[in-house]
Amino acid sequence: MEDREYKGAERFLKTLAQNLSWIADSFIMSGEYKKAKDVMLAAVLLDGDNPNCHTGLGLAYRYLEEKRSAQRELETAIALNPEFSPGLAIMGEFCLAEGEVEKAIDYFERDLAVLEFHHQECSLHLIEVMCRAYIGTGNKEKAKELISRQIEKHPGDEDYLHLRDMLWLR
């Protein structure tokens, strides 16, 4: 096989893996986690270097309560790309659900740093989860600092003001 043909075949497999990933996402959103897992396993086989495929598989495992497999896939995704925001966020949520709050905070902080470095917006959900985690570890000042920084970045955004008030962070 010529180099050009090989590269074409490789591109085809990566595109197929991405398409399978989107199909698996729809299965996850509809609660069909076993189907999502099966489709993501195929995607990982086709493109094992794609952190999105490993993150999707980790998420499917998480919903199927296969915790070790979920953690392994999420760790693989982050190892492949330490700045892969969806992998960091989902791993943070996974750690939080497992009661590993400090570890979750580390993943959330890394995710926020990646988003801020690339000048991307973080979700209100990420800020809320981080604030709750800080409060849960007794670090209310860190939560206040985080929400204050978001309010400064989004003046007049009622959602951040509401979150601040809801969490008693005035």
Q: Please give the pLDDT value at position 141.
A: 92
Q: Under 8 Å CB-to-CB from 144, ≥6 apart: which residues?
A: 169
User: What CATH number does residue 62 fall under?
Assistant: 1.25.40.10
Nearest Cα to Cα of residue 50 among 7, 110, 10 = 10
Q: Is residue 74 part of a domain?
A: yes
Instruction: Look at residue 169 and tell me whether its pLDDT is greater than 80.
Output: no
> Is 74 within 8 Å of 87 (Cβ atoms)?
yes
Classify burial at 128, counting beta carbons within 10 Å of its beta carbon; exposed 0-12, middle 13-18, buried 19 or more.
Answer: middle
At 22, the pLDDT band (50, 70, 90 cuts) reads: very high
Q: Please give the pLDDT value at position 75.
A: 97
- State the virtual CA torsion across 45, 47, 78, 27 in degrees, nearest 10: -70
Q: Is residue 40 part of a domain?
A: yes
pLDDT above 90 coverage of the chain, percent: 70
At 53, the pLDDT band (50, 70, 90 cuts) reads: very high
* Mean pLDDT computed over 148-162: 88
Domain of 36? 3-121
Instruction: Look at residue 82 and tell me whether its pLDDT is greater than 90.
Output: yes
Q: Is residue 100 part of a domain?
A: yes
Choose the weakest-confidence range: 32-46, 75-89, 137-151, 154-168: 154-168
> Is 17 within 8 Å of 31 (Cβ atoms)?
no
Instruction: Look at residue 85 and tell me whether its pLDDT is greater than 90.
Output: yes
Q: Is residue 104 part of a domain?
A: yes
Number of domains in the chain: 1
At 1, the pLDDT band (50, 70, 90 cuts) reads: low
Instruction: Look at residue 45 and tell me whether its pLDDT is greater than 90.
Output: yes
Structure tokens at 76: 């693989």
Q: Cα 16–17–21 angle (5° rounding)?
A: 115
* Mean pLDDT computed over 118-142: 88
